[in-house]
Structure 1
């Protein structure tokens, strides 16, 4: 993405860290979490690679069509997986956003602009990811329980979750939130 180098490197670090955590989540005992984590790891590492500042590394011209093909395939996989659960539609939108950014970065003349000079598809994706980030952020806000502070259902000793740290839904949600914020930053830079 074409922006200041310091914010670009922060974006690379955020996306790579999120991708690494998603790889660890692939070790979950829950199959659905493993599948979702694989797609999210691909997205995190792909976003990290795409966010490297142009001053540090300019990818060869053939890299952008490769990005588009990889994320196009990931989008088709998400579309196929959406038959079993609608949450895969978010992965489809994320893959479409990555394809869109790859096409924009390749300098394709097919990149249409709306009346304001902002590409229409970029604007739609910005609206989607803004809503996603806000909704996900609200879902992370703790809700007071009427049963007391330490009496959560399914909690192990000391009120900690019985599941491993890779299976904690709030960590997965925080990763999705950070990738949504990173996607917003990347789309705004297109």
Structure 2
């Protein structure tokens, strides 16, 4: 089983997002799951999609670096996104990554005039930090809007239906005890998702051996 973690925070060492990444990674590795981290800032990933690249995708022409990302996503059973919410959206580098990587012919296709997602059968989890209060977001319905756009709306379109996401709020004012509780929740969610996937895989292996 393979687990792909996509991390997008400019403070790749000292941020709480990094702590989330480390907890997700260690939880995965404890279960002997093959784990791959894509730290977009460390990779200096180019988030700008050119017109030539956009046109090329419709002709099946894909840059080598994007083909590599395609391979990682294609092979992944669990995909984890770790990022801060900035101006009600992804950090620019993550938005650009998704613009370039979730290309036509890889993430979706057009069939009989309809778009069809091509990334079925994958599980996704997202851990999203926000500087504001989660309860206030819920009060005004912002959490639902974000889920509809950033989480379900985008990835359902690409065929990923099994998605969990968690907002962690007040990041700049909470104390270390609160952060530790959040990390414990990250570990619990990740462990549950890995357990479900491993169980499904074991069941499939058992049926194949009969």
**TM-score for the superposition, normalised by structure 2:** 0.30
Q: Which is strand-richer, 1 or 2?
A: 2
Q: Which is helix-richer, 1 or 2?
A: 1
**Structure with the greater relative contact order (CA < 8 A, sep ≥ 6): 1 or 2?**
1
**TM-score for the superposition, normalised by structure 1:** 0.32
